[in-house]
């Protein structure tokens, strides 16, 4: 596989993000995401890069879409300005009659439907519908570990914003009668969030505005098996990662209480799945580890 990394104007590659999320990405050296990670990974593999598009199998568009979207206000001061300039840059990239791809954290086709995306293949960490692109992990920096041993206490937990998507409120309603599940609309300090997740056999990971959530990968990072709740199954790289042994998935919250009843009898299995989830994250999904699967996906096109 030979790739030509297209020259992009610096304004579309900001060196920081004006609003950083999740909170741990505000720590020194953690203001980064999948867009920056893949670009760095590719630059560290010069044998894959060619200096002329005519020698390439694919053209890579290294725009930092998420940073540009957040950092560029519109006339009302909201995120998502500079669309005309972005559209012009996309058109410059599309002038080459060769296969093209890019890496995006958010669903750029949904955020900017007015742009002519043409045949550009989008690898997306949080698509919103079936047309959002090829799934990749929604990664963030590591959550600092608590300086104490945390024992398992909850069958399942969720601490965070319950109002970003209707499925989260429905999840709370479905589980509100359970004493073994902790579901709270809360803005806890990082340490408390991390301790609650480690203290749980299952980390509830409902989708947000996009079909994925950071929480799923944070759970895997901490050795807790995620229960991914989404109408779209966006677990990435299914040709190479066996998600059935390291995660749980339901397409909606209907029957979630009964589902939990079935799981509470299998805590040893959940512990083992959490261990596999952590190994899967470390070996295949962490920063720098997932990028090779983008190449594998391109080879299938």
Strand, coil or helix: what is 201? strand
Task: Give yes or no for a contact between 191 and 213, defined as CB atoms under 8 angstroms apart.
Answer: no
Q: How many CB atoms lie within 10 A of CB 11?
A: 14
Q: How many Å separate Cα 135 from the centre of its chain? A: 9
Domain ranges for the chain, please list them: 3-139+287-300, 154-285
Helix extents (H) in the chain: 34-43, 65-71, 83-94, 108-111, 166-175, 190-198, 214-221, 256-263, 267-280, 291-300
Of 148, 107, 132, 137, the closest CA to residue 246 belongs to: 137
235-244 contacts, C-beta under 8 A, 24 or more apart: 235/135, 236/134, 236/135, 236/136, 236/137, 236/285, 236/290, 236/293, 237/135, 237/136, 237/284, 237/290, 237/293, 237/296, 237/297, 239/296, 239/300, 240/284, 240/293, 240/296, 241/280, 241/284, 241/285
State residue 188's pLDDT score. Answer: 76
Task: Give yes or no for a contact between 36 and 90, defined as CB atoms under 8 angstroms apart.
Answer: no
Chain position carrying tokens 């069958």: 155
Q: For the chain, give the percent of residues with pLDDT over 70.
A: 100
Could you read off the pLDDT of 159-197 as tens digits, one per residue? Answer: 998 887 789 999 999 999 999 999 998 887 888 999 999
- Please state the rounded mean pLDDT for residues 286-294: 98
- Please state the rounded mean pLDDT for residues 200-218: 95
What DSSP designation does 114 have?
T
d(CA 132, CA 224): 28
Cβ within 8 Å of residue 73, ≥6 positions away? 79, 81
Task: Give yes or no for a contact between 170 and 253, defined as CB atoms under 8 angstroms apart.
Answer: yes
State residue 189's pLDDT score. Answer: 81
* DSSP-assigned states of every residue in 52-92: SGGG-SEEEE---HHHHHHHSB-TTS-B---HHHHHHHHHH
Specify the CATH class of 154-285 in words. alpha beta
Could you read off the pLDDT of 21-76 as tens digits, one per residue? Answer: 999 999 999 999 999 999 999 999 999 999 999 999 999 999 999 999 999 999 99
Task: Give yes or no for a contact between 157 and 181, defined as CB atoms under 8 angstroms apart.
Answer: yes
Q: Which segment of 12-16, 186-190, 248-252 scores lowest on mean pLDDT?
A: 186-190
Chain position carrying tokens 């989008």: 122
């Amino acid at each position: 596989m030979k790739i030509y990394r297209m020259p992009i104007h610096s304004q579309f590659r900001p060196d920081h993000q004006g609003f950083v999320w999740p909170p741990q990405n505000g720590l020194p050296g953690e203001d980064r995401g999948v867009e920056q990670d893949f670009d760095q990974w590719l630059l560290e593999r010069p044998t894959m890069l060619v200096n002329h598009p005519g020698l390439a199998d694919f053209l890579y568009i290294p725009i930092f879409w998420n940073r540009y979207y957040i950092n560029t206000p519109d006339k009302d001061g909201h995120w998502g300005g500079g669309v005309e300039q972005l559209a012009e840059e996309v058109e410059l990239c599309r002038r080459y009659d060769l296969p093209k791809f890019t890496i995006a954290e958010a669903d750029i086709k949904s955020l900017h439907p007015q742009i002519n995306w043409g045949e550009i293949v989008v690898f997306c960490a949080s698509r919103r519908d079936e047309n959002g692109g090829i799934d990749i992990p929604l990664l963030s920096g590591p959550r600092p570990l608590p300086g104490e041993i945390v024992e398992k206490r909850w069958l399942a937990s969720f601490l965070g914003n319950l109002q970003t998507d209707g499925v989260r409120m429905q999840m709370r309603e479905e589980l509100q009668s359970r004493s073994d599940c902790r579901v709270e609309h809360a803005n806890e300090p990082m340490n408390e969030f991390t301790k609650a997740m480690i203290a749980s056999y299952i980390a509830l990971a409902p989708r947000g505005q996009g079909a994925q959530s950071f929480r799923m990968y944070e759970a895997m990072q901490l050795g807790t098996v995620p229960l991914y709740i989404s109408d779209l199954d966006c677990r990435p790289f299914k040709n190479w990662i066996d998600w059935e042994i390291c995660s749980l998935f339901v397409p909606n919250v209907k029957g979630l209480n009964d589902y939990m009843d079935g799981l509470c009898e299998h805590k040893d299995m959940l512990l083992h799945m959490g261990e596999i989830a952590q190994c899967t994250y470390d070996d295949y999904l962490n920063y720098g580890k997932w990028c090779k699967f983008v190449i594998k996906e391109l080879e299938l096109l």
